[in-house]
């Protein structure tokens, strides 16, 4: 039992500028006091994807106001805070610098401890904030930049079981949306039109399905969708919906297959069932994927935990919470801590082999 903590969290690693105040009770229970997000979608839409330089400038413009609002919404003053947590990577380096430097400035000016948070640890620990999940658990982390299966043994203790050998699943959703003219960001748009589509109309490849291990590959699926769309074009509404549904079903099959393999691997490595499957990251907000993964979890007797959609996509509360978990263990950082474009959760994991490998 530690003393209750009130932490400001800052997130600027991609295209959401976010600040939040989270409280962690002495028993380790989390409570979100405020959670403010400025989505930069409008800034990036004309370019069909996130432009790093525009993102960094937008963070500079909006971050101060968001922090003030997060304090206001939480009815907190600076003196109520115990520490400042900020994403220090991985991500678009310009944005990470804006958030981390802002946090350093506040820490210095207010004499508060600084916690440099790994963005992926923010996603990984969110289920403990929302659902009080105990360690250990198996984590499927699926976002725009990452597709990984990890054993989460504790704060800062991650064993990577599998990762993508090419594209991340969120990236595949974004590219499929773009090639069908559905706009940006792609995931929610694909999910929306897939609801009215026939998932059985177009048989699409399921890369690595049925193969040993739990690495992922999504680039072949994305290419198959592009070739299909070109062959079917110009696309009417029904065909677009059927392509979206067929793609989403293929992605769901692959995620479920790889996750079941990861369960076997985790049980082998650790000698006992982790018993809990947590899904996190922006793609975890997809309801069709959740359903498929929930079936996979229950088929093997695992509890299934997914945070609410707005805590799956990037937000400040997850950074504040990861900061609170670290701070409670006495983990703080010096003011000379560096922002990092790449920062794997499991630094001991061997690099994945494949074209365009992501860490
Ligand atoms: O975690 P996140 O907000 O940012 C990163 O850390 O990457 O994830 C963003 C990704 C994007 O690729 C977005 O298209 C995807 O999550 N995403 C979805 C859905 N909502 C967001 N993918 C599929 N279905 C969704 N409903
Ligand atoms: Zn993220």
**Which residue CA neighbors atom 2 of ligand 1 most closely?**
282
What atom in ligand 1 is closest to the CA of residue 177? 14
Reduced to 3 states (helix: H, G, I; strand: E, B; else coil), residue 298 is helix
- Complete DSSP assignment for 102-119: HHHHHHHHHT--EEEEEH
Question: Can you list the alpha helix ranges (DSSP code H) found in 74-111?
Answer: 93-110
The residue written with tokens 């994991």 in the block is 349
Q: How far is CA 10 from the centre of its chain?
A: 15
Cα 159 to averaged position of ligand 1 atoms, centre (Å) = 23
| pLDDT tens, N- to C-terminus, the chain (359 residues) | 679 999 999 999 999 999 999 999 999 999 999 999 999 988 998 888 889 999 999 999 999 999 999 999 999 999 999 999 999 999 999 999 999 999 999 999 999 999 999 999 999 999 999 999 999 999 999 999 999 999 999 999 999 999 999 999 999 999 999 999 998 889 999 999 999 999 999 999 999 999 999 999 999 999 999 999 999 989 999 999 999 999 999 999 999 999 999 999 999 887 777 899 999 999 999 999 999 999 999 999 999 999 999 999 999 999 999 999 999 999 999 999 999 999 999 999 977 766 455 44
> Taking the model in full, what pTM does it have?
0.95
| Nearest ligand 1 atom, CA 186 | 14
| CA 286 – ligand 2 centroid, Å | 14
- Using N-to-C axis directions, what is the helix angle for 237-270 and 169-179, rounded to 10°? 170
Ligand 1, CB within 6 Å, residue ranges: 14, 143-145, 170-171, 173-174, 185-188, 191, 281-283, 285-286, 313-314
- In angstroms, what is the span from residue 312 Cα to ligand 2's centroid? 8
β-bridge pairing 137-142 and 276-280? parallel
Question: Ligand 1: which atom is nearest the Cα of residue 287?
Answer: 26
The protein residues having their C-beta less than 5 angstroms from ligand 2 (an ion) are: 143, 314
């Amino acid at each position: 039992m530690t003393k209750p903590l009130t932490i400001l969290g800052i997130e600027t690693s991609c295209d959401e500028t976010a600040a939040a105040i989270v409280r962690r009770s002495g028993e380790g229970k989390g409570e979100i006091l405020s959670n403010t997000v400025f989505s930069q979608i409008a800034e990036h839409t004309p370019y069909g994807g996130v432009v790093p330089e525009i993102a960094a400038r937008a963070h500079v413009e909006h971050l101060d106001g968001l922090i003030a609002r997060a304090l206001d919404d939480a009815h907190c003053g600076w003196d109520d805070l115990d520490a400042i947590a900020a994403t220090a990577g991985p991500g678009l380096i310009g944005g990470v610098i804006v958030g981390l430097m802002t946090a350093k400035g506040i820490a210095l000016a207010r004499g508060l401890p600084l916690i440099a948070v790994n963005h992926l640890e923010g996603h990984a620990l969110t289920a403990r904030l929302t659902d009080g999940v105990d360690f250990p658990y198996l984590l499927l982390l699926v976002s725009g930049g990452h597709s990984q299966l990890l054993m989460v043994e504790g704060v800062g203790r991650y064993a990577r079981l599998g990762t993508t050998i090419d594209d991340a699943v969120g990236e595949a959703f974004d590219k499929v949306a773009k090639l069908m003219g559905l706009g940006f960001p792609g995931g929610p748009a694909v999910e929306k039109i897939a609801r009215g589509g026939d998932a059985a109309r177009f048989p699409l490849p399921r890369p690595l399905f049925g193969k040993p291990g739990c690495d992922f590959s999504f680039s072949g699926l994305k290419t198959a969708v592009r070739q299909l769309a070109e062959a079917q074009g110009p696309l009417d509404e029904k065909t677009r919906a059927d392509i979206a549904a067929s793609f989403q079903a293929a992605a769901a099959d692959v995620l479920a297959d790889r996750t079941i393999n990861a369960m076997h691997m985790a049980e082998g490595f650790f000698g006992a069932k982790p018993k809990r499957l947590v899904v996190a990251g922006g793609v975890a907000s997809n309801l069709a994927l959740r359903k498929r993964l929930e079936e996979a979890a229950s088929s093997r007797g695992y509890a299934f935990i997914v945070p609410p959609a707005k805590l799956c996509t990037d937000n400040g509360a997850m950074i504040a919470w990861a900061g609170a978990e670290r701070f409670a263990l006495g983990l703080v950082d010096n003011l000379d801590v560096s922002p990092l474009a790449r920062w794997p959760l499991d630094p001991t994991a061997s690099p994945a082999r494949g074209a365009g490998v992501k860490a």
